[in-house]
Structure 1
Amino acid sequence: MEENQLFPVFFKLHRLHVLVVGGGNVGLEKVNAMLQNSPEATVTVVSLSFLPELKTLAKQYANVELVEKAFSCGDLFGKDLVIAATNNKELNQSVWEKAKCSKVLINVADTPELCDFYLGSIVQKGNLKIAISTNGKSPTVAKRLKQVLQEAIPDTLDEVLNKLHLIRDKLKGDFAAKVKKLNSITDVLVDPETKEL
């Protein structure tokens, strides 16, 4: 039976520089997703043309640059991640080849076999963020799971996280002792008997 062997990672995009190749619907979707999750992300979008919505979005963020030109190998210089988001398979393949030669991680939209990473569906409640991956099999299932979790997780969970953070900072002892105490405190979150109270 096939299993999802992806290793989940959360990038601090405000410390990285992302290149998006493509200024159409897919490029807009990817840039928008990054900015919703990381408003201080530094993003450069290279394309021969841009949707008006992408131009409007870029004007709202000083750290988003639109470069109206054809993609070239030099666009990869200084970039940490690349997203190939064009509707041209040959161009996407070329961007992938250049990224691999430059040792830059790349995501080629709708082409799982050419992806070093995926952009999963995201559920966020304050400081809690859950990424959902179907290993590239079905973004639609990930979207539906996102809706279920978004409704199931209470908005007040962020308040709980903040209080637990304060408790953690005040705990004495070594790492193992702190983990044991925090596990004891948070048992209430998963104990079936307390859920009914």
Structure 2
Amino acid sequence: MEENHLFPVFFKLHRLHVLVVGGGNIGLEKANAMLENCADATITVVSLDFLPELEALTHQYPNITLIKKSFSCGDLLGKDLVIAATNDKDFNYHVWEKAKGSKVLINVADTPELCDFYLGSIVKKGNLKIAISTNGKSPTIAKRLKQVLQEAIPDTLDEVLNKLSLIREKLTGDFASKVKKLNSITEVLVKPESEGV
């Protein structure tokens, strides 16, 4: 069985500058995924052509910039993440080579072996975000799990998170004692109903 070497990380996307190479359907999908999770994301899209839907995003999100040109090494300057989002595997490989040479993390669409990171399926309920990854094996399964979790997690969970945040701010003591108190408070969330919850 293949080992899963992924370590889930949540980026503060509003602090990063992302380069998307490709202005077609894949580029649009990747840009939308980022903007749905962080409307303040700074995204530069480089391509010779852009879908009208991608151009429309620039009116809604001021931090997305479209540059009509072919990708070059200079496009990597000042970028924190790169997404190669064209339907040309050879060109995506070229982008990957340049990104690796510049030590910039890269995601290459539909090519898991070239990805430093994946854009997982995201379940959002207020402040709660759950990222789902299948280690590049089946994005379709991740999408289905997202649907199941989206329906199963109550919308009121955000209220619970906000109240627990207030409690957490008022707790005194060291880290270990705060964790112990919060564990005691939240234990009711995982007790089986048969235990009198």
Percent same amino acid among aligned pairs?
Answer: 81
On the 8 A contact 1:189/1:195 being kept in 2, the answer is no
Q: Say how many residue pairs are matched.
A: 197
What is the match of residue 64 of structure 1? 64
Amino acid of the residue matched to residue 173 of structure 1? G
Q: For structure 1, which runs of at least 5 residues remain unmatched after alignment?
A: none
What do the CA deviations read for 1:30-84 (whole angstroms, capped 9, x no partner)? Answer: 0000000010000000000000010011221110000000000000000000000
- Is structure 2 residue 170 aligned with structure 1 residue 182? no
Q: Does 1:26 align with 2:30?
A: no
How big is the shift at 1:194? Answer: 6.9
Is 1:47–2:22 an aligned residue pair? no
Query: Which letter maps to 2:71?
Result: F
In 1: Cα distance, 2:47 partner to 2:18 partner: 14
**1:68-79 alignment, distance < 5 Å:** 68-79=68-79
- Alpha carbons of 1:104 and 1:182: their partners in 2 closer, same or farther (altered >3 Å)? same
Q: Which structure 2 residue ranges, 5 or more long, are not aligned?
A: none
Change (3 A) 1:52 1:151: same
Normalising by structure 2, we get a TM-score of 0.98
Q: Which moved more, 1:137-146 or 1:1-10?
A: 1-10
TM-score, normalized by length of structure 1?
A: 0.98
Partner residue, 1:83:
83
RMSD of aligned residue pairs (Cα, Å): 1.2
Return the alpha-carbon distance in structure 2 between the equivalents of residues 116 and 70 of structure 1.
23
Answer yes or no: is the 8 Å Cα contact 1:81–1:106 preserved in 2.
yes
1:141 corresponds in structure 2 to 141
SS in 2 for 1:44: strand
